[in-house]
Structure 1
Amino acid sequence: MHLTQIRLIVSDFTGTAAFYRDVIGLRPQFDTVAPPYVAFKPEHGSALSLHDRADLDATLGGVLRGGPGADGALIALRVDDLDRYLTEVTGRGAEILTGPVAFGDRIRSAYLRDPEGNLLEIQQWLATRTGDPVPPAN
């Protein structure tokens, strides 16, 4: 398993993206920073990403928590075989909220919560942006 990113779920995408880019000094993965998603990727290590709340909630079928105690972040973990992993974790007591969901032809994801209610995204990469072979998640 590989930690791919910590993703903040934001209502003010433009303002929050500008804060991390212009104030904190993180470099966006791509020159264009526009909703619903941006990743700030350091040269080494995992990414800090932003995802527009309304877009993510629609994608996940309305499972995000709003109001007090609202979902503010998710942890994205990558596995080599999403279906096998989901079978394993449901056998150990996890409850899948939604998924698998396809994000184009590159990523399949499923969503669950930990015992504290934190949102987890379990990803399987199907292809890389560069066309290079997908590296193992271990």
Structure 2
Amino acid sequence: MELTQIRLLVSDFPACYRFYRDVLGLAPQFDNEQGPYAKLSPEGGSAAIALHDRAQMADLVGALAGAPSGHRALIALRVDDLDAVHAELTARGGVFLRDPAPLGDRIRAAHLADPEGNLIELQEWTQPHG
């Protein structure tokens, strides 16, 4: 078995697509702002984040519970310079729920949410992870 992607089911596909492309700066595999599916990757080609229109998926599987609320998922992205990325994303319209601060003794982190309420954790590793 091989994990190919983590896919977020979203209700407002265009808003989420623009957030991941324009605010986080992820590169879309193909231009598809209207959906129903997109795959976006950070520079350097690490694992991708996929978006899928929630209503279409509900039709495919026959049922999904009502509209979700609150934070449902957390996506962690490692960065080399958290303060610089925080400033860059703020300039692009990102609104942070938590500014850069220590998170344990080996990570500094900052948090923001996408338009659907999924949390994005930006991590700067202050000590090697093993």
TM bracket, shorter-chain basis: 0.3 to 0.5
Normalised TM-score (structure 2): 0.47
Normalised TM-score (structure 1): 0.45
